[in-house]
Chains A and B, each alone.
Chain A
Amino acid sequence: MRNNIAKRAAAIGWPILVTTLILLGWEISVRALGIRSIILPPPSAVFAAMAERHDLLLTHLWPSLYLTVLGFVLSVVGGIFVAVLITYSAIVRKGFYPVIVVSQVVPKISIAPLFIVWFGTGMMSSLLLAFLVAFFPMTINAAMGFESIDEDIHRMARTFMGSRWQIFWKIRMPNALPYIFAGMKISITLAIIGVIVSEFVASQEGIGYLIKLAGGLLDTPLMLAAITALSISGLALYGIIAGVESWAVYWQPPSDAVGAGGG
């Protein structure tokens, strides 16, 4: 037990130490070299900007986070649904699945301007782009999870006369959970990217809009403050998923990560 706590402390302690050293080096070199704040403000100026203008940051952060989470949730629901279809329908598996996989080659971000043309500069475009980029890794991971059933387990369930329905809920679903969470962790980061890019392209609010606006005004501290706020939010969202994962996938030691990338 004690060993565990020590291990955990070391796991958190080292990255914190490194981050502190980087920030310190950044602060010192900016000051020593006399770099102008427009080019690169010291971390202290960024933190000051965050504290001073937290109202502005939060006003723009909320809509972005809201759309990110909404797009993410839709991608999880949709991804699992399509994965079930892939598992149980030969037509979907043989016809659509390869198309879905190959379509991964298209950088979905490049579709953002097209979405603006179709759905306008409002929330709809951001939401759809977030959904689109988050959807594929979710689908592929969930489908992998449903299909990667040990042949012996399947056989065992059949000797006890398990129905397809029972096999899905009692075996495939729990078996897929680690894969689904791996997909979720990829999807949440991609959903953020989707929303921000769409806000870059055309939007009147959101943290992506604020970053672009601050860039236009050459307000570099505000820009970095917005980026920092965004990163912290992204980390928090990721942390929430990882936390739920360790609770839901209790049977797996935490280091055993499974699943594939995508996006």
Chain B
Amino acid sequence: MMIAGLIDPSAGEIRIKDAKVAGPRREVGVVFQSPVLLPWRTVLQNVLFPIELLKLPRRQYERRAMDLLRMAKIDEFSGHLPRQLSGGMRQRVAICRALVHDPSILLMDEPFSALDAITRDEMAVELQRIWQANRKTVIFVTHSIREAAFLSDRVLVMARRPATIIDELPIGLPRPRSIAVTEDEAFNRLVRHLRNAIEASHAE
């Protein structure tokens, strides 16, 4: 929320490309915990919502929006209303919306936490695929250690109260990763390492 410019940091400052974050910025796209789609807009209109707010040429971005929807495999639902979609599909729409204005940074705040376990795994694979086609810096906040290890190049472990970074772990697993990776010994070693770091911080 601070990186998105919605909340001011209590101390210090946040810099994106050497510029201080003082408010919401164009080069940041955000995906929230819930999809927060506008119920009166169709899928395509929801994806184009940032374009309208940013007053960018709609016609130009309509194609991009359709491309994103196609990539997220929901292009055939572009004319549907959000209430006609499942939870996973809605969150995909939200991801397309966050990407439509081509931001350089994508912030994801526990985006899959409201989904069931199987959909959640599928979405992680999907996100990886979308990311490989649209290379962005993604900052992904999650409470799932597995999810963090599966998706990340680099995991930062945060302790609560005060929220500080207590550990940093590079994940060197080759991409594209499939869910089968989570069975590997290398993957589980990483997960164990992260869990130990978190438990150690709780023990203090």
Contacts of B81 on A, CB cut-off 8 Å? 251
CA distance A249 to B38 in the complex (A): 13
Chain B count of residues within 8 A CB distance of the other chain:
25
A150 in the interface, Cβ–Cβ < 8 Å?
yes
A153 and B53: CB pair below 8 A? no
The answer to whether A150 touches B36 (Cβ under 8 A) is yes
When C-beta atoms are compared, the residue in chain B nearest to A154 turns out to be: B36
Contact check, B40 vs A174: say whether CB atoms are below 8 A apart.
Answer: yes
Residue of A nearest to B81 (CB): A251
Report the contact-size class of chain A (Cβ under 8 Å from the partner). Answer: 20 to 34
Which of B24-32, B170-178, B184-192 binds A? Answer: B24-32
Given A152-B32, A251-B81, are A158 and B40 neighbors across the interface (CB < 8 Å)?
A: no
**What residues of chain A lie closer than 8 Å to B83, measured between beta carbons?**
251, 253
Q: Determine whether the beta carbon of A156 is less than 8 Å from that of B40.
A: no
Asked if A247 is at the interface (CB within 8 A of a chain B CB), the reply is: no
> Interface stretch among A15-23, A140-148, A160-168, A225-233?
A160-168
Q: At the interface, yes or no: B9 with Cβ under 8 Å from chain A? A: no
In the complex, whether B50 has a CB less than 8 A from a CB of chain A is yes
The interface residues of chain A lying within 8 Å CB-to-CB of B101 are 160
Task: Write the nearest CB–CB distance from B201 to chain A, whole angstroms.
Answer: 29
- Alpha-carbon gap, A137 to B42, bound state (A): 31
Q: A152-B32, A156-B32 are in contact. Are A162 and B53 (CB under 8 A)?
A: yes
In the bound complex, how far is the Cα of B40 from the Cα of A160, in angstroms? 19
Binding site for B on A (CB under 8 A): 150, 152-153, 155-163, 166, 170-171, 174, 177, 249-253
* Interface, chain B (partner A; CB < 8 A): 1, 4-6, 24-26, 28-30, 32-34, 36, 38-40, 49-50, 52-54, 81, 83, 101
